[in-house]
A and B are shown apart, each in its own frame.
Chain A
Amino acid sequence: MDQVRTSAFLALFDEGVTFETRIEDLDMDSLEFLDLIQEISAKFGPVPEEVVSKVCTVKELWDAIPA
């Protein structure tokens, strides 16, 4: 993985969040999560809509972003 890109991705989250962190453990509600998805899409490429309702970990979210 591109270290710079992955570091920039993880920097969008709160301190302590790793790829293994579960989405449901993030300190944000659904609307804040959707704001984050928009931010991720703007920086790294579009996150497919169907992924948003399925991803369980930060890693799965990262994997869903087109390289």
Chain B
Amino acid sequence: MRFQREEWSATLPELRPLFARLWDDVAIDKERFTAECDEEKYAKLDEQKILHLVTAREEAKLAGFFLCFVWPNAHYLGAGEMAFTDMYYVLPQYRRGNVGIRLFAFMEATLRERGVVKFYTSHKKHRDRSAMMKILGFKATDIVYSKVLG
């Protein structure tokens, strides 16, 4: 398995099928929200260099990806850029050994190279990955609640 940074626009055609797989795999409130990526909005974020994409590939085949938004946190003027997880996914057939752990570690390494000072990430409550996060050196700091309003 190889891990690398890739450009959003170049990888998007390969990412599209994985968005639906991700939604099918972990999304909640599926009766209300279905996966449909707003590609125009993502393209605008890409133009502003906010998107930070890393991929996992087995030979040439896309096995998984990790996408973060990188921008300054307005709570902390002058503190530097911070990374906020947008989504990550590894195809089930590639979820072996430490592939997921290496994907996270690679994302962290590339964020460090970029000068990012803090990395926020999460996992679904029904997909507890706290053991993995702990070994990667993360600490649990928030519990996120959601409620469908309309």
Contact = CB atoms under 8 A, between A and B. Distances in A.
B95 A29 contact: yes
B97 A28 contact: yes
B132 A34 contact: yes
A33 B129 CA distance: 12
B143 interface: no
Contacts of B140: none
B12 interface: no
B98 A55 contact: yes
B96 A53 contact: no
Interface string B42-72: 0000000000000000000000000000000
B105 interface: yes
Nearest to A34: B131
Nearest to A24: B97
Contacts of B131: 31, 34
Given A30-B132, A31-B132, A53 B97 contact: no
Nearest to B92: A29
Interface in B90-119: 94-102, 104-105
Contact of A52 (B94, B101, B129): B101
26 contacts: A22-B97, A23-B97, A23-B98, A24-B1, A24-B94, A24-B99, A26-B96, A26-B97, A27-B96, A30-B95, A30-B99, A30-B100, A31-B129, A31-B131, A33-B97, A33-B98, A34-B131, A34-B132, A37-B135, A49-B137, A52-B98, A53-B98, A53-B102, A53-B104, A53-B105, A54-B105
Interface string A14-53: 0000000011111111110110010000000000010011
A20 to B, nearest CB: 14
